Amino acid sequence: MTLDRQRLCVELQRLDWARHLSSDVIEDIAAAAEISQFRPGDEVIAVGAEITKVYFVIEGSLESSLFDRLDKQIHCERLARGSVLGLFSVVLPERSHLQVSAIEPTTAIHFTLDELLRLTTKHREFQLSIFSAAANVVKRLVVVDRDLPKPAVVGVVHQSDTSRSLTVDLVRRLRQLEEAVCVAGDDDRCSPSDGVPFKQLYENGQMVSRDAITSSLKEWSSLGRLFIDVRADHPQDDLNRLLSYSEVVLWCIAPAEVDKATNQLQALQRDAPWLRDKVRIVWHLTYQDAAPPYAAKLNELSAGDFKTYSGQPSPQHGRLLQQGLERIIHHLRGVHIGLALGGGAARGMAHLGVLKCLEQHGIFVDRLAGTSAGAMTGTVYAAGMDPEYSTQCFKTDLMPGWLFRRLPAGGYWYLIYKYRYDQFDPMLRKYLHDFRMEQLAIPMTTIAVDLVEGALLERHCGDATHNILESINLPPLALPIVKQGQAVVDGGLLNNVPANALFDQGCNFVIASTVTASLEKDFLSIRGKRSSAVSGFFPTLKVMMRQHMIQGYSMNDVGVQPADLVIAPDVTSFDLSEFTRADEMAVIGEAATNESIERLKAMLHKLDPQLFR
């Protein structure tokens, strides 16, 4: 994008750091600025170079890596529209420890130190903006600031008219959150009578002139969010031009439109490979679809997706499926909530009560990670099953048969039978069918361990049922799952409460639900009047299970340490094999969550006061 001075003034007014500046100051900044444009891969600053300029990103994005004196990379971040680069380095005598290059076509303005000092001396309000920018850099480096990008310009591309209501719904919801929103598009549904500033991008089948767009942007410069809302059937040059201006692109499709969308995104990305990092697929589904089709090529062309559902849900469908729009709002508001569900065999059924309570209070997570029982409960929830319905299913499906109920330690014998005769697979497929992780309503990660490499395995793609089977594969009840050179067992061996995985995946608020925070203080009635002998098969089996329990307890603090809030239902009175009491444990999980709910709401309110009131 080539900027003239008038357009530069418009673009500056839309940046957060410049929003409060007067038009005279904006014009003075624009007149003094030098404009640089970078293509993807272009180097902006090299390690060892002398930094003599301060850059302000106007359009596009850069990748910045910070190196120490031994040339070890210690920090990496993406610098999006509105970022400031080189503010500290320009006054240091030593050479650059930064390596900065363009990720996509990027426009930046830059000043020498002398010119920057002249402007800040002349304009006190600009001086305050520079101080604020410096403070934000420090906040990011010390991880005080949890803010994720909040795209000011959102592209919405409709493969067909079936998704046209999405933009209207998003605008309405953002206005409820006290945002000022404007729309530029090829459809007149967002009209001025709705109270939303609207600009037609097409007249008589042709895109309006750049001057007309600039005029509208100048008029809307005080507004915070712009939607560019268009059909996918416009000429490729038009789409490239519009999407290059967008910071995130919501590409809306129905299941029947996969091939068409794939072909079009492939064509666009041949000329603009950087577009992939902006695109999020928005699936327009009905409850009868159960899940979107698996589309490997389409997944490769986007950085993620959202699933939205319409129609009438069945009793087994949870409220999660109704919250697709709200998860898009979370993304636009820079909120990404994760929930980590820990292992603990049957005691993990308490997680279902945690999920139920969060739903009842209107707290819907954006991403899940689970180990062992947490992987099982989390994955069926991520597939859209109602927590209460799931509780009854697990209670029924894991009821030992008549013979097992009469054997000593029959619950363990029953679990051995379920493992050794591959009975968990058909049980789970009744609900998950052949779904892959990519088809679930929200992203889910399961945790397992490879005994060959001694390595943690984080599964966020592939067959959902297989991933659960790996994560719940608990020695000594089960044998390792051997495939592709790996011997896979329960993930609790290395990470029983995977809160850290959620932070690594971009969550800026993480809740942990753990059932291993407490440990019952008796074993084999040793502290009772009639202690049991620790010999024979059954006590030996209980010893091994006790070892597993202690391992989970001792690792609990490590697992939950990164979490912002920990919910710890006390289910120590339940045996590790008592899945038939799933409903009782779910009630305890719900009660424990209720005890923490006000604190949780207060913390989320600090993250986004409008979204969490």
Residues involved in catalysis: 372, 490
The three-state secondary structure class of 223 is: coil
- 8 Å CB contact between 111 and 35: no
* Strand arrangement of the beta sheet that strand 248-253 belongs to: 198-200, 181-185, 225-231, 153-158, 248-253, 279-286, 305-310
Q: What is the dihedral of CA 230, 233, 236, 237, to 10 degrees?
A: -50
Instruction: Give the count of alpha carbons within 13 A of 199, CB side only.
Output: 22
What radius of gyration do the chain's Cα atoms show? 27
Instruction: Give the count of alpha carbons within 13 A of 389, CB side only.
Output: 13
SS3 annotation, 344-404: CHHHHHHHHHHHHHHHHCCCCCCEEEEECHHHHHHHHHHCCECHHHHHHHHHHHCCCCHHH
- 8 Å CB contact between 104 and 49: no
The three-state secondary structure class of 240 is: helix
How many CB atoms are located within 10 Å of the residue 4 CB? 12
Tokens encoding 104 = 């996509």
Would you give the end-to-end CA distance of the chain in angstroms? Answer: 40
Tokens encoding 532 = 């049991």
Q: β-pairing, 248-253 with 455-459? A: unpaired
Nearest by Cα to 5 from 16, 26, 14: 26
Which CB contacts under 8 angstroms, 24+ apart, belong to 304-309?
304/280, 304/443, 305/280, 305/281, 306/250, 306/280, 306/281, 306/282, 306/331, 307/283, 307/441, 307/442, 308/166, 308/282, 308/283, 308/284, 309/285
- 8 Å CB contact between 304 and 116: no
Q: β-pairing, 481-483 with 486-490? A: antiparallel
Angle 236-245/258-271 helices, nearest 10 degrees? 70
Instruction: State the Cα–Cα distance between residues 379 and 383, nearest whole angstrom.
Output: 6
